[in-house]
Structures are given as C-alpha cells and as structure tokens.
Amino acid sequence: MRLSVREFEALARDRLPRYAYDFFAGGADDEVTLRANENAFTRLSLVPRVLRGHRERDLGTTLLGARIAVPVVLSPTAFHRLAHPEGERATARAAAAAGTVMIASMASTVPVGDIAKAGGDDLVLWLQIYVQPDARITRELVGRAEDAGCRALVVTVDSPVFGRRERDHRNGFHDLPPGMYCENMRDLGGQRGVRDIEMVAGLSWDHVDELAAMTGLPIVLKGLMHPADAVTAVAHGVSGLVVSNHGGRQLDTAAATIDVLAGVASAVGVPVLVDGGIRRGTDVVKALALGAAAVGIGRPVLWGLAARGGEGVSEVLALLREEIDRALALTGCASVHEVTSDLVREARC
Amino acid sequence: MRLSVREFEALARDRLPRYAYDFFAGGADDEVTLRANENAFTRLSLVPRVLRGHRERDLGTTLLGARIAVPVVLSPTAFHRLAHPEGERATARAAAAAGTVMIASMASTVPVGDIAKAGGDDLVLWLQIYVQPDARITRELVGRAEDAGCRALVVTVDSPVFGRRERDHRNGFHDLPPGMYCENMRDLGGQRGVRDIEMVAGLSWDHVDELAAMTGLPIVLKGLMHPADAVTAVAHGVSGLVVSNHGGRQLDTAAATIDVLAGVASAVGVPVLVDGGIRRGTDVVKALALGAAAVGIGRPVLWGLAARGGEGVSEVLALLREEIDRALALTGCASVHEVTSDLVREARC
Amino acid sequence: MRLSVREFEALARDRLPRYAYDFFAGGADDEVTLRANENAFTRLSLVPRVLRGHRERDLGTTLLGARIAVPVVLSPTAFHRLAHPEGERATARAAAAAGTVMIASMASTVPVGDIAKAGGDDLVLWLQIYVQPDARITRELVGRAEDAGCRALVVTVDSPVFGRRERDHRNGFHDLPPGMYCENMRDLGGQRGVRDIEMVAGLSWDHVDELAAMTGLPIVLKGLMHPADAVTAVAHGVSGLVVSNHGGRQLDTAAATIDVLAGVASAVGVPVLVDGGIRRGTDVVKALALGAAAVGIGRPVLWGLAARGGEGVSEVLALLREEIDRALALTGCASVHEVTSDLVREARC
Amino acid sequence: MRLSVREFEALARDRLPRYAYDFFAGGADDEVTLRANENAFTRLSLVPRVLRGHRERDLGTTLLGARIAVPVVLSPTAFHRLAHPEGERATARAAAAAGTVMIASMASTVPVGDIAKAGGDDLVLWLQIYVQPDARITRELVGRAEDAGCRALVVTVDSPVFGRRERDHRNGFHDLPPGMYCENMRDLGGQRGVRDIEMVAGLSWDHVDELAAMTGLPIVLKGLMHPADAVTAVAHGVSGLVVSNHGGRQLDTAAATIDVLAGVASAVGVPVLVDGGIRRGTDVVKALALGAAAVGIGRPVLWGLAARGGEGVSEVLALLREEIDRALALTGCASVHEVTSDLVREARC
Ligand SMILES: Cc1cc2nc3c(=O)[nH]c(=O)nc-3n(C[C@H](O)[C@H](O)[C@H](O)COP(=O)(O)O)c2cc1C
Ligand SMILES: Cc1cc2nc3c(=O)[nH]c(=O)nc-3n(C[C@H](O)[C@H](O)[C@H](O)COP(=O)(O)O)c2cc1C
Ligand SMILES: Cc1cc2nc3c(=O)[nH]c(=O)nc-3n(C[C@H](O)[C@H](O)[C@H](O)COP(=O)(O)O)c2cc1C
Ligand SMILES: Cc1cc2nc3c(=O)[nH]c(=O)nc-3n(C[C@H](O)[C@H](O)[C@H](O)COP(=O)(O)O)c2cc1C
C-alpha cells in the first residue's frame, strides 16, 4: 500500500499524457493560490490533547441527512475518463465502497444516471451544476439529477467566467479527445448532440432562487469565500456551503481556503465544507477544528483514478481514512465532533 | 497571444542589448525595493464576492476629468527609442488605442509635441517633469506641454538626487547612443542643442507652488510615499498623487508601494494612483481595493515596446485589460468602483 | 573534540546502516514537526544581560528531589543496541558520569536492572513506560523499575496509537535484528519469551490513577502539549511533565515543543521538562527562559552512541554542558535559576 | 571606484589566506546572529519624505564632544596587520581623513600610541578595553590610552568568556602568526613580553565603577542589548553605549542589534551607537531613525584594509558617506538630526 496521497500524484504524472496531467494539476495564472492552498496547512500546527483515548474512533458524520463514514467527500472534478477509461463509474464505486458522498461534476464524461447506477444504492450522489444561461437547460439538468437519485445540488458560484489555466494554453488543450464528451450535456433542450457548458457572467442570487424553485433537492453553494456571502446564502435558504477557490483554478491569488474557513463557518448555522489542498489526515482534522463539517478532495481522487482506476480511488480514500483515524487518536478525539478549535494554532513562521 | 506580461519581459531580454535591457530592468543598489514591489502583491490575498455578476464589467473610470477605458495608465519612462526605433510615437498610439493616459517622460526620445501628434486626438497625454534649477527652463517645458495639448503635469518628487543603479555602472551605460536625445531638452533657454536634465537637490514645496503659478494645468505629484506629505500636497492644491518609489530605482529598501498605498489614499481626497510591480490584473484589483483610483505601469510598457513595438504595447495593455476584466468578474465587481477594501487580506506567510 | 552535536549526527550517518540511521532520524509522515522542533529555536532570539558575571556558573538543579549537574536529561529512546553493541549500558555510564538523569525507554535492548547496574550508584534512573492493556503486565514492569532502583516513572501519553514513520516502511524496518530484543518485555505475565509492546488506544486518566495506585514512585507524564491537560495532570497528582511531541515521530504537524512550552509551564506548579530539537546550549537557555526546569535530548544521545559508544554520549553531554555554561555566562546568568523570560524574544522573520 | 561595500568583501576573500579571511568573517557557533545582523536591515523598509530638499546634506554630528563628519565610527576589531602589513596605522590615517572616530581595539597589532601618531591631530581616537583580572594591568592600559590622547574608553561588556568561532577551530587558528602581537599588552605589570588578553568571567558593574575611578575619560559600554542594562549603565555614570552583539562572534542566536536598538535608545538619554551588519547608507539611516546617534562598522573596515590597505579603508568610508548622503537626500533629511522614526517600518515578510 502507498504511504501517502503524494505517491499517487507521482504515479499519475508517470501514467498520464502531459496535457492530461497538466489539466488536472494546473491552476490559474501564476498558480499562487494552487500552492497556497496546500502550504497553508503546513503553517497551521496541532496542539494535541492526551489521555482522552477511546478504543476506536468514530469517523462518521451526517451531511444533509445522509450518514457518511468519513468526513471526506469527493469534490466535483471534470473529465474522469481522461484519467481512466472507466471514468466516473470507477469513482462512483470507490465512493460508495468508502461510504461517502460523491459530488459528480456537471462536466462528467459519464452521464449522471450511469454514475448513479455504477455507485449503486449505497452511493450518496450529489450533482454539481453550473447554472446555464437558458433556464430550461438548467431545469433539464436538475431533472436528470433527480432521476438519477441525487440527494443534493451543488451550485458552483466561483465561475461567472472561466479562469485561465496557462498550462492548458501552452499544451493546446481546449477540447476533450475524440470519443469523450460531457455526457450530461447531451441531447438537451430538444436538440441532439452535446452542448457546451456555458458560464453565466451575470450569475446572481436570483439564479439561486430560480434553481431552488425548480427542485425539492437541498442546494449547496460551492466556491464561497466571504462571510458576508455566506450570510446572504443562508437567507436564500441554501442548505450548505463549500468554501472553495476551485482548487486555485479560477481567481489566482485568492486566499487559501483554510485561511478563510473559520470566518465563514462562524458566520452561519448550515454545514460548511471546505476543499483545496487537503492531502493528509491532519489537514482534515485542522479543517474540522476550524469549523468544517467535512472536507472535499479534488485532485487526490484524480491521481488515484489515473494511477489504478477505481482501486486507486479506493486506496486514496482508505489512506486518508487511516490517517484521519490516527490523527484523531493522536489528538485525543473519539469522533469528528470532538475536534475543537483549540487543537489548532498558527505555526511561528 | 502571449499569456502574461512576464512573457514580454522574456522577449525583451532576448531582443535588447544587455545594457539597454539592464537599464530598463534594473533598480537602485541591491534592488531590494525592485523585488519588494512585485513580491508584495503575492503576499496579499483576494477574498472574492460571488453571485453579484453582471453580463459585462465596466473597466472605465475618470481621472482629472478625462474618461479612461481601463484603470491602468502608462507611467513615465525614459528613452523609448532604446526599446524600439519608433520610440514614444509607438507608445502613444498604443495608449490612444487602449483609451488610457500616457504620461510622457520628460526624458522621452521624441519631443512631447510629436508624441501628442502620434497619439492623435484620442490620446490623453500628461507630461512628467523634473523641476529644473533654472525656473525659465521649467517654464519653457511647461509651455511645450501646454502646446502639445497635455492635460496635466506630473512632477516627480522622488528624485532630488539620482539613485544609483549598479547595473548601469557595470555596463558603462551613462549616455544615450548616438542619434538619440532627450528631445524635450533641445533648444531651451535660447540655446541650441540638448541640455542635460538636472536634479534639484533642494526640491521643495516652493517649487510646487512656483510651478502651479506657471500653468493652469492640474498638477500631480509622483513619488510620494508618506501620508504626511500627501496631506501637505493637497494643501498646496495638487490635483492628484502617484504613490511610487520610481520602480525601485531611487531609494533602495524603500517600502513596496502597495504596502503604503492605503495610508496615503485614506489621508486625502484627491485621486491617488500607484505604480511599481503591477504585472497582473489581480494586482490592479488589489490596488483599487486599497484605495487607488488607477495604477501605473512602467516596465511592462517597455517590454511590450521592445518585443513588438507599438503592437507589443497594445498587446500588454490588452492582456492587462482582459485580466482585470476577469479579476473583476471573479471578485463579483461590476466596475472598478465596486472594488472594496474587504476584498483584500494579508496572506499568512 | 567535536565542535557541535551536529557533527555527531554526521558521524552516526556514516557508521550506521541506512535502516538504523533512518529509524533514529526519522519522524512521522512529512516530518514537518521534526523540522519544526529544531527550526523553532532559531526563530527565538536571546537578549543577553551584561555585567552580572560570576567566576563560575552553577549548572546544577534539582529534579524530583535528585540533584543533577546539568539541566539536560536523557529522554527515553528505544533500541540503543542498534546504535552500539553495548547499548543502554554505555548510555547509562555516560549519564552517570555527567551527573544527570537517564530515562530508560521501556523499549530498551538491555533490561532496566542491567542498565541500573551499569550506571552504578551515581545514576539517577527513571523508567519510561507505555501503559499496557493488561494491568498485570504494567504492574510487573513497575516492579522491575522499583527493583532496579528507578526513582520515577515516566508515562508516555502521546502514543495511544503508533505514529507512522515512512522511512521505516520504505526501509522495510519493522523488527529488531536477530539477537536484539526489548528486554524489559521478557518473561512477563508468567510467560516465557519477549512480549510485544502494545499501544492502548483507550489510554485515559484512569490509567494514570491506576498506575499511581501501583507504586510509590513519582509519576511524570511525557508527551503533553496542551495547558488544559497540564492542569488536569496536576489534579491527578503527577509530579512532573515533559512537554514533548515524541521528537516529531507521532502526530505530524504537531506544534514545535518550544512554542507551546510557556503555555504549559505557566499553567502548573510542578516541574516541566521539554524535549524536541535541542541541539545547542542556547536552545537549553531558551527553554529555561520559557519555563522549563530542564530539557531532554533524544537523538543527540543516539548519535553520540553510534559514533563512539559511551564515550560519544559523554562527549555529547560534555559539549552541551560547555555550551550551556558559555551561554549562561554570555547572558549574564550565574545559574539556571537566573534565566528569566525577558532573555528571549521572537526573531523578526 | 567600487560600487558597494560587498565588493570589498569579495576582494578581501581573494587576497587573504583562508584562516585570516575566516577569522574576520566568522561568527559564533552556527552564525545565526552573524546573518541576522545583516538580514534584519533588509526587513526594515524606508518611507521617504519628499520636497524637503536642501542643496547639501550635513552628515556631521557630535559624539562625546567631538565633531565627526559622518555618523559612522570604526568599531574596534583585532589584528589589523593580519589584513595588511601597515595594520592599524593605515586604518588610523583613513579614519582621520574621513573625519570620524576610530575605536582602536585593545587587541591591536600596533600599540595605541603609534596608532594615535599615525592618525595625527585630526584623529578622534578611543580605545576599546577588556577589563583585566589584575586591576593594575587595566590601569596601565588606561594610562597608555590617556598618553596616546584617546578621548574615551570603550569597555566591551559582551565577553565575560570567549565565544566559540568554529571556523577558527577548523582552521587551527589560535595564535597570531610570528611577528605579530597584541602590542598594547607588551611590557605590562613590570614584566617584559606580551601578555595574553584575559576575559573576566566575573565582570560586573563594580568593574565599571573601578575603571571610572581610574580615569577622567568618558566611558562607553559596548555590547549592551537589554534596556534594563542601559538604565543601570547610566546610573553608573557611563557617557555612551554601543548596542552590539560583537558582530555575532560571542552569543549565537543573540538578537540582531537593529532589532533591539530602539528599546535601548528610548530608555536612556546618553548617546547610543549600534554596530553589526551595517553595509549600506540606508542601513545607517535606519539606525538613526531607530534612535542611534551614530553607527559602528567592523568587518567593512577590515575588508577595505585587506583589499587596498589604508586606501581601501578610505574608499569604504567614502562609499558609505556617499550612500548616506544620497539616502538622506532621498528621504528628505537635511542632516542626520532630521531622521525621524516614522521613516522606518517593518517590511511585510
Ligand atoms: C481537474 C479539475 C477539474 C475540476 N472540475 C470542477 C468542476 O467541474 N466543477 C466544480 O465545481 N469544480 C471543479 N473543480 C474544483 C474541485 O471541485 C475542487 O474545488 C478542487 O479540486 C479542490 O482542490 P484540490 O484539488 O486541491 O483538492 C475541478 C478541479 C480540478 C483539479
Ligand atoms: C527604465 C525606466 C525609466 C524611468 N524613467 C522615469 C522618468 O523619466 N520619470 C519618472 O518620473 N519615472 C521614471 N521611471 C519610473 C516609472 O515612472 C514608474 O514609477 C516605475 O517604472 C513603476 O514601476 P514598474 O516598472 O515596476 O511598473 C522610470 C522607470 C523605468 C523602469
Ligand atoms: C529513535 C527514537 C526512539 C524513541 N523511543 C522512545 C520511547 O521508546 N519512548 C518514548 O517515550 N519516547 C521515545 N522517543 C522520543 C524521545 O523520548 C524524545 O521525545 C525525542 O527524541 C526528543 O526529540 P529529539 O530527538 O529531537 O531530542 C524516541 C525518539 C527517537 C528519536
Ligand atoms: C575580526 C573581528 C575582530 C573584532 N575584535 C573586537 C575587539 O577586539 N574588541 C571588540 O570590542 N569588538 C571586536 N569585534 C566586534 C566589533 O567591534 C563589532 O562589534 C562588529 O564587528 C560589528 O559588526 P560588523 O562586523 O558586522 O560591522 C571584532 C569583530 C571582528 C569582525
């Protein structure tokens, strides 16, 4: 068994063509935020508690009514078939086996219905959505999510326009290779074929309200960083938030997510997740200490998938599970709910 | 199209003779401030707002009564013909096309009148001035600025004496090559030929008052860093300020301009610009958030000019325009006036 | 004579097989805490006092009633025979000669009774204990400590589960080489042979109380980092504390010990020791200034032992003694009791 | 002419035998303080004032009644003949020519009387003294200082014991080469030959009082870092202080001098000098801003001397003079007395 998530990154780099690796690995502009997301964890220290041991730690928690076995969900990432022929199907199986939420990307290369089927009854599936300019298209996508049995919609709000990833430009990577498509965008609005996903520059709270009116599913906003927006989100009835800067792929020099998490989490009552740069069990414990209900991982899933398909994703999840378990034990926490803010302090730099 | 201003720097390095590249690139002494200007931006993080989108962003603003299309002006830099045979003419055309202010340097290698002509009616031209020991010379220069249709005078106050750029000493670069001259200094004071630009060690507020008495043009002070000086400047009737350390070419270890901007901007009511180390659209947004009315760029213009002449300058300006537009969209701002101070926070180092 | 403890590290690296060197040198996961322990000292500056000289400095102090000649004790480390054939016997002789406490590890490769004999009457010996799941085994170990004349029991509380040292996994180092055993674990519980040391995930304050009930020896808790736990420890009657993160071998990204020392020391009245990253006399003075009664060293002892057996350990201790003496002289302290908190300040980073 | 003091360092490294260069360059233990002294200046930024120009800057000031032309004195350094055959004679001539104070080291390789003669009437000479165990020896040294016309005694208080410079140990450098001696130590106490300089571990305020009773010369304490000691010093009637950590040669990890200067300077009314890491005119301005009456330089003098003898020292002083003049002009100060504390701020790191 691999010893760290980083080893999967190395394996993925070995196996993937350059353009694909770079698509997964890269960030916007100078990749300042990409690095900051990871480094910010190193600059937080843990102050463990002792002699509060329990024979076993309970890593489970509840998210929007669903019980999950580890406080780590799969953040939505595009194009899993670029990492492995089985694509999102393999990912779904691994998520189900690990007992956690998979947030399928709207830009998945397998349709959400097939992802759901591959995951089976055990999978808690959410669909991530970019609101489309034509509300009817959005509604149809929501319908597909409902039909697939998704239990929440995750609306990505950090992308009113595309961020610019220089690596993709340098590699000339602008389209999926032949035979791969954004399958959720197929045959929408009464037209055959695959539509492009569009960004809506005018994305606003009205869109959130409209979406809420379309569905009974709980709505989670992903890509929020500012406490004031968190408060507004709750006023608009959203059920959860993901503090995220899109893994450093949208606004470069955006703050590291872990550095703004506490501000957001303390401003609202709904569950707050965070993603960006989570690579170790101790990162997860730090996020919990700063108020996260759970964390999301993006690239680690893709690395696992590229390295060994669904098994790789399972290994990544198992590794993190084991690390979280150890970190909880070593900080004196019997469960994720016992992780308190005094366990974390800023490292003297 | 190039992906970043930095690529133009690389192109310029390739194309220019060493002494010319170094003249443009270098700073005073150990170049601590030169590096600090750039690095200080990386150490500021953005905290974006979401769901406040608008279909389009308005990048325009008004400076001293003139409408400009982007919040980026061309800071005055000497010797454009060292970068490209067309020199300041090419720069002027690019500035006009971009719809922004060009601050011509008193040390331009094309006379200000010809710069104005090259720029055409669309160009908002300001002339930068070093007050000369002989007031009659200064007055004549002011007259030339007025004749050329300049709409403001920018008095550089950070240079009572010359800073020492070690690169120029090592390269033995002390004079312009044959055939290039500081054309604004030609045939002044009733004497034929080109006078040297002199620094006035005794430069004082009296000089500012004297200059104000010579002209009806608004006066902008460039090179101010201290809030107390800003307050005095306003008391002396100046119309604007440029927070600047001369791109690290005068006083080495002077603070990074972005680090003193907020102190100056919050002390006065007149528009405050800032230059030094601006390389990305997000740098501009950070400056706006800290109180700048607009920013200035020095070296990026020279790199564009050296790389591809006027087209290069246009490309640099277009690139920044696009980056600012994207950064505004991604921080939830419909215009430069919506950029508020809470969008910026210090990165944990 | 060697000039620094670091030189012994280099000698040890040269002499030991890779797996053994790595076992001694390594830390958990990414070794963030391992490095932080050492680096944190560099980021503390000394502000010396002058003209308070004394012909000689008194380096002695009293720990749990025992007089020691230097404020440096030997922290418990496993497997000394891996460093040198004489193993803990050699270490004990060096500790006795230096007039300080040796805390023998429960995982020593020489039985505690033999360590005591090797050390002789001068040695102040304490035994470190991992509470075992079966209380009878623990009691038997306590009995062996008492029989050996140990004057305190040090209960390691930072290890309810094993930390993961990646170096050991990569080197395939999981067991002692043939002929070496954890001798304290031999023939326990009425069974012949050597039992494995077990970690108790459920380790709790009850275990501390139980242990206290088993023996009249003072109890010291090792591995505490949080002030709240320190207060609880005193309420449970413990006689001393060692602020420790197990040399970065258990919970990675745990805070550097020197950074949490003052918080713990100021919360309680019992003597507080600290270990982790102590490599210089000035490190010791800083620890004293922040409230430590004395410090512990782990790896430096192993390096000395690997380099030159017992003589090496003696050299390491003599070197530190000399450095502490010099540091006290140069900070104007006649004894370890004169080291006050104003001698230390954070270095500007 | 050289462009920076650093260039002299490079020249010295080229010319000197390794052991001599290392003796001059080295610091105690890990040389943390040696580097910190220099780096701390980079982490202070200047916030210049503008439009307060004067045709000329007055660099002069008064120290203990003597007028000096630049706010830079020569800190005492041992063994100038190791740098250049003319040794301290050459240094004295350069100091006199520059119009500043030379603090001759007690460990000079030319007797203080001859230094005075070489310097001539213009030289303001002070003698640095290590109090000797035998008060009669100290008194005799004081007599020699008086006879030589010294105008102050500088008592070094940071050296109750020797610091350990590892470079000297590695180079086996423990004695001066044949033919060079600490000439001030010759024929003292009625005995022929050269005595060793001894450190007095018991150095105390009594020694200062004793010394004051021996002479009418003003006494300056060198090597003070703590405000409390500064206050005591004034109570003992000293006339000035040098904040110094002996150039990082005594207590390693001592704070950078510039970081403790303001604390000391604001605690007392007597003139406070500072040395350690001064390499640029801006460093001097920063020290003045933080309360120094003047600064001292150690190694730069030795580099100049090694590079080009007395001329080299003159060049170093001229270079610094020019840099200070420029720095004053560029910060808007007409004299060293106009340098105020608001000119300095911490750089964001
Ligand atoms: C290759 C890639 C594709 C992504 N695609 C999407 C997407 O389609 N929708 C979305 O909301 N976020 C997307 N993200 C962002 C992730 O959901 C998540 O915020 C980010 O990856 C977290 O950072 P990490 O990769 O450091 O764990 C993508 C990220 C990556 C790396
Ligand atoms: C090559 C060069 C020449 C310059 N010449 C002038 C000048 O003639 N007058 C002036 O006020 N500033 C001059 N500056 C300073 C610029 O106006 C501006 O403050 C600086 O370049 C901003 O920093 P940046 O280059 O990092 O954008 C010059 C800068 C450079 C790099
Ligand atoms: C090789 C090694 C073995 C160790 N074994 C033990 C042990 O058996 N029991 C224990 O409480 N601590 C053990 N420790 C931790 C030390 O007691 C001590 O906390 C740590 O080494 C201090 O850090 P330093 O090595 O930087 O001085 C061990 C440390 C090392 C390096
Ligand atoms: C080679 C050398 C010899 C020194 N000798 C003495 C000395 O004899 N007496 C003394 O008080 N300080 C001595 N010092 C310390 C200097 O006076 C001064 O504090 C230090 O050099 C200042 O730091 P700088 O070298 O970075 O300028 C010496 C320093 C050096 C580098």
pLDDT of the residue at A158:
98
Which residues of B line the annotated binding site for glyoxylate?
Answer: 165, 246, 249
C163 touches A: beta carbon within 8 Å: yes
Q: Residue B337: is its pLDDT beyond 80?
A: yes
Structure confidence at residue D112 (pLDDT):
98
- From the alpha carbon of B246, which atom of ligand 2 is closest? 19
Ligand 4 touching residue D257 (CB < 6 A) = no
Reply yes or no on whether the pLDDT at D268 is more than 70: yes
User: Does residue C53 carry a pLDDT above 90?
Assistant: no
Nearest CA to ligand 3 atom 5: C77
Q: Is C324 on the interface with A (CB under 8 A)?
A: no
**Which of D54, D282, D332 is closest, CB to CB, to B252?**
D282
Contact A111 CB / ligand 1 (< 6 Å): no
The dihedral through the CA atoms of B285, B287, B289, B293 has a sign that is: negative
Any CB–CB contact under 8 A between D327 and chain B?
A: yes
Per 3-state DSSP, chain A is made up of helix, strand and coil in percentages (nearest 5) of 45, 15, 40
The rounded mean pLDDT for chain D is: 97
Q: Which residues of D touch B40 (CB under 8 A)?
A: 348
What pLDDT is recorded for position B53? 82
Q: Which one of C84, C226, C236, C246 is the catalytic residue?
A: C246
Chain A residues in contact with C204 by the CB 8 A cut-off are 51-53
User: What's the Cα-to-Cα distance from A34 to each of A18, A225, A287, rounded to whole Å?
Assistant: 18, 15, 17
Confidence of residue B51 (pLDDT cuts 50, 70, 90): very high
Q: Is the pLDDT score of D296 beyond 90?
A: yes
Q: Which fold has domain D5-343?
A: TIM Barrel (3.20.20)
- Cα of A305 vs centre of ligand 1, distance in Å, is 14
Please report, for chain B, the start and end positions of each structural domain, with discontinuous segments joined by +: 5-343
What is the DSSP secondary structure assignment for residue D248, as one 8-state letter? G
From the annotation, which residues of C make up the binding site? 76-78, 105, 128, 130, 156, 165, 222, 244, 246, 249, 275-279, 298-299
Using a CB–CB cutoff of 8 Å, tell me whether C34 touches chain A.
Answer: no
Cite the active site residues of A: 246
| Facing C45 at nearest CB: one of D161, D204, D253 | D253
Would the pLDDT of B156 be above 70? Answer: yes
Per residue in A199-246, pLDDT tens?
999 999 999 999 999 999 999 999 999 999 999 999 999 999 999 999
D10 and B CB contact within 8 Å: no
Interface test mutation site (partner D, options B35, B241, B251, max chain D beta carbons within 10 A): B251
Contact flag C53-D251 (C-beta cutoff 8 Å): no
- Of C298, C283, C261, C317, nearest to C69 by C-alpha is C317
Task: Look at A49 and C229 and tell me if their CB atoms are within 8 Å.
Answer: yes
- Give me the mean pLDDT over the C170-188 stretch: 97
Radius of gyration of the CA atoms of chain D, in A:
19
Tell whether residue D67 is among the known ligand binding residues. Answer: no
Mean pLDDT along residues D300-306: 98
A335–chain B Cβ distance below 8 A for any pair:
no
Chain A partners of C161 at a C-beta cutoff of 8 Å?
326, 329-330
- What does the angle CA C6 – CA C9 – CA C13 come to, to the nearest 5 degrees? 145
Structure tokens at D265: 């300077």
What's the confidence (pLDDT) of residue A349?
Answer: 66
Mutate to test the interface with B, among D5, D50, D54, D320 (most CBs of B within 10 A): D50
Ligand 1 pocket check for A75: Cβ under 6 Å: yes
Where does the pLDDT of residue C1 fall: very low under 50, low under 70, confident under 90, or very high at 90 and above? confident
- What average pLDDT does this structure show over C58-63? 98
pLDDT at D349: 66
**Ligand 4 atom with the shortest distance to the CA of D38:** 26
Q: What is the pLDDT of residue B349?
A: 66
Question: pLDDT at residue B252 above 90?
Answer: yes
Residues facing C186 on adjacent strands: C194
Query: Cβ distance A254 to B347 under 8 Å?
Result: no
Ligand 3 atom nearest C159 alpha carbon: 11
User: What are the C-alpha distances in Å from B107 to residues B201, B246, C243, D41?
Assistant: 18, 14, 65, 33
Enter the tokens of residue C215. 């023996």
B131 contacts chain D (CB < 8 A): no
Tokens matching residue B276: 């030094």
How many angstroms away from the CA of A1 is the closest CA of chain C?
10
Interface contact B346, partner A, CB < 8 A? no
Is a pLDDT exceeding 80 seen at residue B326? yes
Ligand 3 pocket list (CB less than 6 A):
C 23-24, 37, 75-78, 105, 107, 128, 156, 222, 244, 246-247, 249, 275-278, 297-299
Pseudo-torsion of CA D217, D223, D224, D225, nearest 10°?
Answer: 160
Is residue B208 within 8 Å of residue B221, measured between CB atoms? yes
The residues of chain A scoring below 50 in pLDDT are: none
Pick the residue from chain C with its C-alpha nearest to D33.
C45
Whole-number pLDDT of residue C95: 98
Cα D196 to Cα D104, D184, D185, D222: the distances in Å are 17, 10, 7, 21
Among B253, B286, B348, most D C-beta atoms within 10 A, so best to mutate, is B253
Question: Among residues of chain D, what percentage have pLDDT more than 90?
Answer: 99
Q: Which of D43, D160, D256 sits opposite C329 (nearest CB)?
A: D160
Q: Give the DSSP letter of residue D219.
A: E
DSSP-derived secondary structure letter, B245: -
Contacts of B232 in chain D (CB under 8 A): 51
State the count of interchain CB pairs (< 8 A) between A and C: 107
Structure tokens at C150: 């140990």
- Cα gap C246→C251, rounded to integer Å: 8
ipTM of the complex: 0.97
Q: What is the pLDDT of residue C348?
A: 82
Q: Which of B135, B198, B225, B233 is nearest to D332 (CA)?
A: B225
| Nearest by Cα to D245 from D148, D163, D130 | D163
For residue D75 and ligand 4, the question of a CB distance below 6 A is answered with yes
* Whole-number Å distance between alpha carbons of A201 and A161: 6
Any ligand 1 atom below 6 A from CB of A276: yes
